Amino acid sequence: MDLNGTAIEDTIVVGGISEVDDELFVRLDHYQQEREGDITGRPDFEPVAACGSTFYPLQPDQRSPLLSALPASPVDLFQLFIPVSLVEDWVRYTNEAPEPVRGPGPGSRGNSSYQQQPSRRGQAWNPTSVPEIYLWLAIQIYIGLHRETRLEDYWKVSGTKGHLPSHPIIKYMTFDRFQLLSRHLRISPFSGNQGPFRPCDMWSDHIQAVSLQLWAPGTDIAVDE
């Protein structure tokens, strides 16, 4: 394309932002490319010498949102967004990931003789499984619905010093194991150079695809960025 600014009456298809939106249609009429090899462009119009006195807002066709038939149970709906095949990948990534590096403890900053060793909880790590990951997710949902001051309060029981609410999650997973899974869980292949968002790409694309299968937005929609 001529970088000096000639308009091209055409439309091109370029790669999208994700596997769900894998195509973007870019109009090339009145289009000025910023850099060669970059799809980013800006409008290229002649300056407007005058403007009208009346504003005519766009009137889009009104349509209601469309909701597809949902699964019979909430668990089935949940597993559409987190299917067994996805959790199986998480289990493999988690079990194959190396032990997280443990840095110097308090008071030992810059101590060259400090030996990096797994923590006591890290030494107690055992490989996880698909049922255990689903259980861990269920506990995360429960914690989000039933608020406590501290995380460990969910695993405390009443004693001689007072009565405490008893949470049923203590019957299914210990506090140490919950913390271990929270520390070790990997949702993408292990890599030290992925950045903060790349590990979520696979799951994010899946959530978008399932959402589009279940629901189509109507005319009236607000997007909060």
pLDDT in tens, 141-163: 999 998 888 898 899 876 666 66
Q: Are residues 90 and 16 in the same domain?
A: no
pTM over 0.85: no
Q: Is 203 exposed, middle or buried (0-12, 13-18, 19+ CB in 10 A)?
A: middle
Residue 28: CB atoms within 10 A of its CB come to 15
Q: What integer is the mean pLDDT of 114-143?
A: 82
Please tell me whether residues 93 and 16 are part of one structural domain. no
Q: Are residue 126 and residue 172 in the same domain, yes or no? A: yes
Q: Does a structural domain hold residue 27?
A: yes
207 occurs within a structural domain: no
Q: What is the CA radius of gyration of the chain?
A: 27
Expressed as residue numbers, the domain containing 166 is 74-98+119-200
Cβ 125 vs Cβ 99: under 8 Å: yes
**217 within domain boundaries:** no
CA-nearest of 54, 57, 28 to 41 is 28
41 and 93 fall within a common domain = no
Task: Give pLDDT tens digits for 82-105.
Answer: 999 999 999 999 998 877 665 555
* 186 and 147 belong to one structural domain: yes
Maximum pairwise Cα distance, the chain: 84
Total domain count for the chain?
Answer: 2
Residue 16 lies in a domain: yes
